[in-house]
Amino acid sequence: MPGRLEGRVAVLIGAARGIGAAIAERFVEEGARVVIGDTEIEAAQATVTRLGGEATARFVSTDISQAADAERIMETAESAFGKLDILVQNAGIYPWTLIENIDPAEWDAVMAVNLKGTFLAAKAALGPMRRNGYGRMVFTSSITGPRVTSPGHGHYSATKAGINGFIKSAALEFSGDGITVNGVEPGNILTEGMEASRSPEFVQMMEQAVPLGRLGTPRDIAHAALFLASDEAAYITGTTIIVDGGQTLPEGPDFRIRPSLG
């Protein structure tokens, strides 16, 4: 069903590269015009060019932890393309620090982007969507926090669990305005960042923990975001889709079927 977002206008926060850029690309393939917000200016501009330039995509330098930036990108969508139909808040930071070593300033920084940024994006998008009588809000959560966690991700886990709670509240509050609010929970996704910062041995280890036998791709997440942003998901709100290749299913590490051990 091509053209599922034909005529729609989407704001995507954190879409210069990786998962966010894949979502932007998928939305444009389905007929949307997009406004990308990010702090990575060169990467975001390259993504806009790849998506077809100003007729299809715009870029606004955006620090989503700042209310003025959140409001400015929504205003840009309305002024450039006439309305705002879809919000995707994908921006997030994930420093690795054990709880005992987390400085309060680092804690606040993670909260500001991941959790406060989710609130600010939703609040800024609400007015344009309410005027439009239509809206789809999609937030990138994670399996880390709501489902599982690992050492060093105490602050990150807290923000992603918080996002899931916010999704439920926002879905209830915005339901009378024709706005749905949902999220995607990615598992381990092989992004540019992972490839740059992790060894091949680490990637192989993570693949072995996934029942489907591979790490996810940014496009895997983009497909789920597209569904939630489309009219196919018109009767879905207040929930999340786990996209993790089955990673959260096993009770233990030895999950391959081995009849001799039964």
Contact 160, 141 (CB under 8 A): yes
Which residues are designated catalytic? 156
Percent of residues, the chain, with pLDDT higher than 70: 97
Q: How many residues does the chain have?
A: 262
User: Would residue 172 count as lying in a domain?
Assistant: yes
User: Would residue 180 count as lying in a domain?
Assistant: yes
Contact 232, 4 (CB under 8 A): yes
What CA–CA distance (Å, rounded) separates 119 from 165?
Answer: 11
pLDDT higher than 80, residue 212: yes
pLDDT in tens, 67-79: 999 999 999 999 9
Binned at pLDDT 50, 70 and 90, residue 98 comes out as: very high
Q: Provide mean pLDDT across the span 136-145.
A: 98
Residue with more model confidence, 208 or 33: 33
Count of domains in the chain?
A: 1
pLDDT higher than 50, residue 16: yes
Q: Provide mean pLDDT across the span 130-149.
A: 97
User: Would residue 193 count as lying in a domain?
Assistant: no
If one counts every other C-beta atom within 10 angstroms of the C-beta of residue 87, the result is 28
User: Would residue 148 count as lying in a domain?
Assistant: yes
Rounded-to-10 torsion of CA 222, 224, 227, 229? -60
Residue with more model confidence, 25 or 253: 25
User: Would residue 150 count as lying in a domain?
Assistant: yes
Nearest Cα residue to 240 out of 189, 177, 170: 170
Binned at pLDDT 50, 70 and 90, residue 192 comes out as: confident
The mean predicted confidence, pLDDT, of the chain is 95
User: Would residue 143 count as lying in a domain?
Assistant: yes
Structural domain that includes position 128: 9-187+224-246
Buried b (16+ CB within 10 A) or exposed e, 187-224: bbbbbeeeeeeeeeeeeeebeebbeeeebbebebbbeb
User: Would residue 199 count as lying in a domain?
Assistant: no
What CA–CA distance (Å, rounded) separates 16 from 36?
Answer: 7
The CATH number covering residue 142 comes to 3.40.50.720
Binned at pLDDT 50, 70 and 90, residue 206 comes out as: confident
pLDDT higher than 80, residue 1: no
Question: Which of 134-148, 152-166, 180-194 has the least mean pLDDT?
Answer: 180-194
User: Would residue 47 count as lying in a domain?
Assistant: yes
Percent of residues, the chain, with pLDDT higher than 90: 87
What CA–CA distance (Å, rounded) separates 105 from 96?
Answer: 14
Nearest Cα residue to 34 out of 138, 127, 118: 138
Residue with more model confidence, 80 or 260: 80
